[in-house]
Amino acid sequence: MILNDVLPISTLCAGDSIRFTILSSSINIQELQNDPQYGYPYPASSNYHLLYALKLPGSPAVTFQSSTNPNNVDFDINVASTVTQAWLPGTYNVQVFVVSTVPGERYKIVDGNFVIEADLSASAPAFDGRTQNKITYDAICAVMNGQMDGIQEIMISGRSIKKMPFGDLQKARAYFHRLVEKENGINPMKVVKFQFGRYS
């Protein structure tokens, strides 16, 4: 089972509604439990529901759950736009569970990643759609080019980029360039951490 089986969208714009139906016959725990007794579907009619947990690193988890489809078997997922408009943009870690009304019965069926995009129609004029790595990379490039005006104060390893020796700025630029490429899927190579040299 993959995340798309129970979450058939991989990207959502904050402020958009979520609405889809998951067939109970697609929820098969056998492959997870490796035991024939778990191979039967978990219909909504038997008081089961799906629980979705989304977690953006550094932010509280977001949860929502299914309701029972009118056929009394399948799972309906409906999340109002007024709920998703409060979701922060970023890549969320997702876990999906089958949960019973019987206390203590719950099964994680799949996990994965889910992207929330910023709602540009509701963004403030000062909205900056860049990632923090891209903001840092751009600031380093600006400082190296002598463009100090308007550059926000960014600290790396406890030192302001405006006060770093040129050699350390070169290292930082290369490091954050690799991070930005990895975020964009251009060069998903392993990024090796580095430490700046000693400061006098």
pLDDT tens track for 26-69: 876 655 554 444 445 667 777 889 999 999 887 889 999 999 99
Structural domain harbouring 153: 132-183
DSSP secondary structure letter of residue 89: S
9-26 average pLDDT score: 91
On whether both 172 and 86 belong to a single domain, the answer is no
The model's pLDDT over 77-98, given as tens digits with 9 standing for 90+, comes to 999 999 999 998 888 999 999 9
Pair type for strands 11-13 and 106-117: parallel
C-alpha–C-alpha distance, residues 101 and 10, integer Å? 29
Pair type for strands 48-55 and 18-22: unpaired
pTM of the prediction?
0.61
Domain count for the chain, please give it. Answer: 2
Backbone phi and psi for residue 89, each to the nearest 5 degrees, phi listed first: -70, 150
Structure tokens at 125: 């004029």
Q: Is residue 198 part of a domain?
A: no
* CATH number, domain with residue 113: 2.60.40.10
What is the chain's length?
200
On whether both 11 and 60 belong to a single domain, the answer is yes
The model's pLDDT over 106-144, given as tens digits with 9 standing for 90+, comes to 889 899 998 898 888 876 566 666 777 888 888 888 888
Q: Is residue 194 part of a domain?
A: no
On whether both 85 and 7 belong to a single domain, the answer is yes
C-alpha–C-alpha distance, residues 45 and 82, integer Å? 29
